[in-house]
Amino acid sequence: MSSPTPSPVSRTAIEIDTQPDCWRRAVALVPAAAAALPRRGERVAVVGCGTSWFMAQAYAALREQGGHGLTDAFAASEFPHGRSYDRVVALTRSGTTTEVLDLLARLDPAIPSTALTADPATPVMKLAGATVVLEFADEESVVQTRFATTVLALLRAHLESEGALPAGVGSVARAAEDAERALAEELPAGTVTAGQISFLGAGWTYGLAQEAALKMREAAGSWTESYPAMEYRHGPIAITGPGRAVWMLGALPDGLADDIARVGGLLVAGSGAQDATLDPMADLVRVHRLAVAAAEAAGRNPDRPLNLTRSVVLGGQPG
């Protein structure tokens, strides 16, 4: 009897595996990119759509909590044009996303703007005042993984170079080492078959929790939600129970593990637990792997997510 033919490895899975190397390349890029990135003390707005918005949230919290300057994060379509900023930073993998291009076109020319993108041959290159191109982190996949985390790695490494990381946040080099662990270890038991997962974060990791939930919805069509960790008891705990999970990105608040156990939920904690110390960005890599595994378990192709395109271009605008 012949052995079954193994399933081909998805392009998405291949790109997920490259994240540690991409993060190290981002660290090396900091000196060349620094002039385009926010300066200490600047009042900064960071914008994006979907995944890029959640990376903006994570960076905004890191920068402000690290004392580098007031930082807000907005979905590009919700940017408050009447508000004063010293710099606007736009995150856009494709460089063609309509809402980001519209924002930059409307932006007061007196406000410096920077775009972080993967493709130097796209409209954002002309609309932004400065650009940082991460071609090495570009993706064929519709579902973003390595570009998003590499952008955050670059911004985090820039804060690191300026001595402006919040207490308790380690180096990107250490995060890359942890990501290699996250790629090598088995996925947490029970997560692939979980009927529902609530992702939690606090401070800068709340943006990661938002992104984790989105990845599971995009790739696998899973029922996932995301909340600030201390908000979990204020309603979301009602949906937790046997066969459902709570995944904490970052340090677990006191008493939360007992509350989850009391209602019969499965707790996954990648940092702050006694048996795990993964950097939260590395823990997000585990979620990326889970999204692919859950998609395949459900008979879905992670390279062809339902109802999604690589870039949202509205109104027939050229890409």
Per-residue pLDDT tens over the stretch 25-81: 999 999 999 999 999 999 999 999 999 999 999 999 999 999 999 999 999 999 999
Q: How sure is the predictor about 313, in pLDDT bands with cuts at 50, 70 and 90?
A: low
Arithmetic mean of pLDDT over the chain:
92
Residue-wise pLDDT for 78-106, tens only, equals 999 999 999 999 999 999 999 999 999 99
Amino acid (one-letter) located at 76 = A
The Cα–Cα gap between 252 and 198 comes to 14
Residue keyed to tokens 């291009």? 101
> How distant is the alpha carbon of residue 56 from its chain centre?
8
Using only C-alpha atoms, what is the Rg of the chain? 19
| pLDDT of amino acid 307 | 57
Q: How would residue 311 be classed by pLDDT, with cut points 50, 70 and 90? A: low
How far apart CA 246 and CA 224 sit, in angstroms, is: 10
pLDDT, average across residues 154-173: 97
Round to whole Å and give the CA distance between 165 and 208: 17
Which whole-number Å values give the CA distances from 282 to 97, 139, 226, 290, in the listed order? 27, 19, 18, 13
Helix (H) or strand (E) holding 181: helix 172-184
When pLDDT is averaged across residues 188-208 and rounded to a whole number, the result is: 97
The pLDDT-based confidence of 4 (bands split at 50, 70, 90) is: very low
The lowest-confidence range among 106-110, 276-280, 292-296 is: 276-280
Say how many residues make up the chain: 319
Side chain identity at residue 5, one-letter code: T
Structure tokens at 223: 């029922």
Q: In this predicted structure, what is the pLDDT of residue 9? A: 86
Helix (H) or strand (E) holding 91: strand 87-92
